[in-house]
Structure 1
Amino acid sequence: MADLITEAVAARLRAVGAHAVPEDLYAAAGSTFYERLVGSDRAEIREVLALARKTEGPILDLAAGSGRLTIPLVRSGRRVIALDLSADMLALVRHVLPGESAVECVVADMRDFTLARRFRLVILGATSLTLLNGEDRAALYAAVRRHLAPGGLFAFTLAGAIAEAELRVTRTEKIWVPGPDGAERYLFSQQIEDDGSARLVNWLRADDLVPGGRVTVFTSRLQVLGLDEICREIADAGFEEPNVSPVRSPQGAEIVMVTTSAVSSTTIAADDAVA
């Protein structure tokens, strides 16, 4: 588990004689913390709703997580298939939308899934593409192509150029995170690895750093992706030249939305159901 802990966090733990208990940021207790971290983030929602208004039929939300995009889409009157590898994350969607017939939660891997329908809009928000390495991204692109209706849109987000540069810097800082009993101070640590192409991130509650303590450390390893690199990848995967537009973020984060369609639908069987 040591490879999941940044050097900066390991040093803080050693200084007080505490021990790390690594937890996946997207599972179990990590999913609840992740919702606290991003639940109030409104970035992308306006742009996704605008895309939805231009399309018909159900929408496929990949790596849907706790429903940051799924929930506003459903509340706008759209049917959504929320797909995520974490059942814990999807349980948070169901908590907000109990019994909601306009959402279908599917526990599956966005790199390899099969649904008996095609979609006119497939979305991948929250820069979730960075969860995947090159081989896994190629698998994702293939899965999306199999599920796009003719002329359908694939929309995803990435960090812009300035934000991308910031993601390539090792740093440690304290950040206030909202909680049910008020904001709590967390230590955020980002460690750059693999010659700058990946980053290991850790989150731990500052008050848990006590002598001899067992400290929960939420962890994730993410890729640092450039827009030009991704545009080349999706072209090689059989998608059209993408449209890139800025996302308005209340937090001021630099994010861009990439939209594209499959060059050809000939790989999709003619009798496949279109959603």
Structure 2
Amino acid sequence: MSADLRAAVPGQAGALLAELGDKAELHDLYDEAGASVYHAIAGSSPLEVRELVGAVRSTVGPILELAAGSGRLTMPLLTLGRELAALELAPGMIRILQERLRTVPVARRSRCTVVPGDMSAFDLGREFGAIVLGATSVSLLDATGRAGLYRCVRRHLAPGGKFLLTAVDVQDFGSSTTEQVMDVDGADGTRFRMYEHWTEDAEVRTVTVFPHPLETAEPPITVCTTRIGVFPVAQLEAELAHAGLKLTDCQPLPPTGSDHHDVLLVAEVAA
């Protein structure tokens, strides 16, 4: 366990982690151990799926999904009957995605190509009618990473193509320091307690996930954490414009149960 990673966990989650001591194994939410936790929590979540698939339906041509994860959007996107490239960096996520693809009919999974790669630096040598970045994953990139993302998206968008991404409306976080505690039921029946910590004006929020209830968890207890960027949608719009991408639509997504809300952004290559 990285001492730096442990020290970076703030608030109630940090105190609980310190109390567990050596009984806990801390992982990044996107490493091999974390991927299984991520998939249990979010792998079958319906959040934003209907809206993103509906928006993609209005486009034509092949689809590129960035940060595909364990396939939460990949599976419904495949129902559109179009060719799909699913790009993902984390080996643990790719493993789960490939396992899921093996469970669907051959005719459907044959339209999907899983591409190991970084969403901020990729070159697939082709264009797509729709490029999708869900799960507010743009927040996982720093400013340099986002600039790389936009360059790659612009290079891969076909004429008339659309870039669809979801983002957090940070203006709903409130003031001062906030820490939300949420109990989450995993798709496989496991339960988790999630701590989301954010301090006003901080550039990141920290999400940490523990099994729940802890009393029944046996050591080593897998705890997962990640840090997510915090920036206003207006900043994203300005960054997109600087990269030659024009925002054409911004619509709120249904509430997620937390104190903030997500939005769906649609951008095209500027004329």
Same fold per superposition (TM over 0.5): yes
The worse-fitting range, judged by mean Cα deviation, of 211-220 and 87-96 is: 211-220
Corresponding letter in the other structure for 2:51: E
Q: What is the distance in 1 between the residues matched to 2:217 and 2:247?
A: 55
User: Cα deviations across residues 122-177 of structure 1 (Å, max 9, x unaligned)?
Assistant: 010010000001111001100111111122111101123554x1598441525133
2:16 is the alignment partner of 1:48: no
Q: Which residue of 1 aligns with 2:29?
A: 25
* Residues 117-136 of structure 1 mapped to structure 2, 5 A cutoff: 117-136=126-145
2:131–2:162 contact (8 Å) kept in structure 1: yes
> Are 1:137 and 2:157 an aligned pair?
no
The structure, 1 or 2, with the larger RCO (C-alpha pairs under 8 Å, 6+ apart) is 1
From the superposition, tell whether residues 41 and 168 of structure 1 become closer, same or farther in structure 2 (CA, over 3 Å). farther
1:79-104 CA distance string (max 9 Å, x none) = 21000101221222222221520110
**Aligned counterpart in structure 1 of residue 159 of structure 2, from 150, 157, 173:** 150
Q: Is the 8 A contact 1:73 1:79 kept in 2?
A: no
What value does the CA root-mean-square deviation take over the aligned residues?
A: 2.7
TM-score (normalizing by structure 2): 0.85
The alpha-carbon distance between structure 1 residues 176 and 257, as it changes in their structure 2 partners (threshold 3 A), is closer
Long gaps (5+) in structure 2: none
User: 1:259 matched to which residue of 2?
Assistant: 266
Label 1:254 to 1:10 Cα distance change in 2 as closer, same or farther (>3 A): closer
Q: TM-score, normalised by structure 1?
A: 0.84
Matched, 1:175 2:179: no
Q: Could you tell me how far apart the structure 2 residues matched to 1:41 and 1:169 are?
A: 28
Shift of 1:221: 1.1
Deviation at 1:208, TM superposition (A): 4.4
| CA 138–175 in structure 1, closer or farther in 2 if over 3 Å, else same | same
Shift of 1:48: 2.0
Q: 2:237 aligns with which of 228, 231, 234?
A: 231
SS at match of 1:153: strand
* Structure 2 residue 14 is matched with structure 1 residue 10: yes
- Give the count of matched residue pairs: 261
Structure 1 residues 44-95: Cα deviation after superposition (integer angstroms, max 9, x where no partner): 2222222222222210000011111111011231221000101221222222
Identity of aligned residues (%): 34
The unaligned stretches of length 5 or more in structure 1 are 265-275
